[in-house]
Amino acid sequence: MSTRFLSPALTRTFLPGRASGPSPAPVLLAALAALAVLPVSAQSQLPDMGRRSTVYAPRAAAATSQPLATAAALEVMQQGGNAIDGAVAAAAVLNVVEPHMTGMGGDAFSIVWWAETGELFGIDASGRSGSGMTVEALWARGRERIRGAEAVTVPGAVSGWSALVERFGKLTLAEVLAPAIRIAQDGFPVTPVIARQWGGVSEMLARDEGARATYLVDGERAPRAGEWAANPDLARTFQRIADEGPGVLYGGSLGRELVDGLEALGGFLTLEDLAAHEVRWVEPLSTDFRGYTVWELPPAGQGIAALEMLAILEPFDLAGMGHNSPDYLHHLIEAKKLAFADLHRYVSDAETMEIDPMSLLNPAYVDARRALIDPAVAADRVGPGRAVTDSETIYLSVADADGNMVSFINSVYSSFGSGIVIPGLGFALQNRGAGFTMEDGHPNQVAPRKRPFHTIIPGFVTRDGEPVMAFGVMGGSMQPQGHTQLLLNMLIFGMDPQEAVDAARFRHLSGRRVAIERVSDEVAAELEARGHEIADWTRTDFGGAQVILRLARGWAAASEPRKDGHAAGN
């Protein structure tokens, strides 16, 4: 068995030392400094005893979904690294401590604010399908949907980690991977939310030899909260990357082991597919909203849906409706339906899209979509407009004393991705190929060496060309609607970062079905009168958010109470 599990015990704590480096970033507009301390309605707050406070930090900050990852980001920055180094260090640690959500077997995306030049940079480190993946091959196997080894696409995360560190980092990739290697080798106590989610897929893990040996105690069950876990196989794999560079995966000996293991299971990837992989540096897309500019990455991701939702909602008196009132929720839900109808019709690999994604933000087009919202009646099935011309993920934010900010997301798609671990490698392979459609003629139809439709999206906000906030909300289709709700909490209702993260969310599911956290009987009844079908919110995942807000001096950070999240700074 490759993974070690021990009885509950204390973990190593990373204690930040004295901060070093240049003085804090330049002062922003006074309005931005005030943003984090504006009052908020009591209805959006959790009871005081169960509520976190926003973390305020003078120099550097990190917000991730697990405390050890946050500690790793701060540790690396204190060792001379910057926010980019810290973000990659945190992502690698999350592969160890939150393996069902993320890892080197998945893809990664990031938006970087580079303070030295005052620019935003976007990186798409997503992989393509195998050269043997065709509709004909799948039909010949009797498949109606793509799953298991067949759904494994090139894992792009390591290429993204390496590219970010090489272009922007101060440390080497080996130095940045050091905390993850140490924790994977020495072990850690599993946190409660992660333990519960891990346990929910133990039967699936037991079906794969490598997954069973790597992730189940004695090959039988998931580790419990507080139980010690280690992954020496992953430590060795990370060390190979640290020693030999990412090429060991993309065409080298590690890639050969991966491909040979998948071939035995019916996968489509070849060593040539891995060797041909490249990251894409992309220009983020944006829309203006109430004096701010909101940025998302371009397709094949779903960030355009968050921008379209905001554009549709721009003219409405959202503050006058009241936070999470029936009117407010109704308009947001209906805007989501419209944006997602367009998303599912038009978005695919950028190379095969039939339209310019910015055409979905054309003012005339947005006006026409907005006009379809009936303030009194919930729409059922919404079709896409005529265009002009499961979900397992981690999201993290990191900022440093130089003013650099990173919005970063990494995912293996489903819980533990494909559920496949090549024996001895220590990480789960994603199942992003499940994001393709078999529909003939659709721009997202499965094809060889093609990027599938992608769900994971980092977000960023600027104002008058200055950085305001790195933010994200993980969780499949929850992401665009979560981005929108989080932004409105802060930009319309003046919530500070933690209040905005804590506030109750809705998640539109399908048709007229919607789940709403902590919804009152009165609000539910009024929404039902408009035709909404209220689902059991206690059985719904509302995603996980992290936020870092730039202050006039220093940072304000928040993390997700629905996860084992942790925000900290120094």
Cβ-contact 81, 169 below 8 angstroms:
yes
Q: What is the pLDDT of residue 388?
A: 36
Work out whether strand 513-516 and strand 533-534 pair parallel, antiparallel, or are unpaired. parallel
Q: What is the pLDDT of residue 384?
A: 61
Cβ-contact 422, 414 below 8 angstroms:
no
Provide the residue ranges of all domains of the chain, joining segments of one domain with +: 287-389+460-544
Residue 18's CB: how many other CB atoms inside 10 A?
Answer: 6
* List of residues 6+ apart from 153 with CB closer than 8 A: 107, 126, 127, 128, 129, 130, 269, 430, 432, 433, 451, 452
**pTM for the whole thing?**
0.88
Token look-up 């940079």 returns 121
- What phi and psi, each to the nearest 5 degrees, are found at residue 392? -115, 120
Q: Could you list the pLDDT tens digit for every one of the 570 residues in the chain?
A: 355 555 433 222 222 222 333 333 333 334 444 443 333 333 344 444 467 899 999 999 999 999 999 999 999 999 999 999 999 999 999 999 999 999 999 999 999 999 999 999 999 999 999 999 999 999 999 998 898 999 999 999 999 999 999 999 999 999 999 999 999 999 999 999 999 999 999 999 999 999 999 999 999 999 999 999 999 999 999 999 999 999 999 999 999 999 999 999 999 999 999 999 999 999 999 999 999 999 999 887 888 999 999 999 999 999 999 999 999 999 999 999 999 999 888 877 777 777 788 889 999 999 999 999 999 999 987 766 544 334 567 899 999 999 999 999 999 999 999 999 999 999 999 999 998 988 888 888 999 999 888 888 999 999 999 999 999 998 888 999 999 999 999 999 999 999 999 999 999 999 999 999 999 999 999 999 999 999 999 999 999 999 999 999 999 999 999 999 999 999
Distance CA 83, CA 155 (A): 23
The single-letter DSSP state of residue 445 is B
Collapsed DSSP state (helix, strand, coil) of residue 355 = coil
- H helical segments located in 418-549: 478-491, 497-502, 521-529
Q: Find, among 472, 538, 542, 474, the residue nearest to 508 by Cα.
A: 542
Q: Find, among 182, 152, 160, the residue nearest to 246 by Cα.
A: 160
- What phi and psi, each to the nearest 5 degrees, are found at residue 230? -140, 160
Can you name the CATH fold of 287-389+460-544?
Answer: Serum Albumin; Chain A, Domain 1 (1.10.246)
Cβ-contact 277, 128 below 8 angstroms:
yes
Q: How many residues does the chain have?
A: 570
Give the active site residues.
393
Cβ-contact 350, 299 below 8 angstroms:
yes
Distance CA 110, CA 114 (A): 12
Cβ-contact 325, 271 below 8 angstroms:
no
Cβ-contact 563, 503 below 8 angstroms:
no
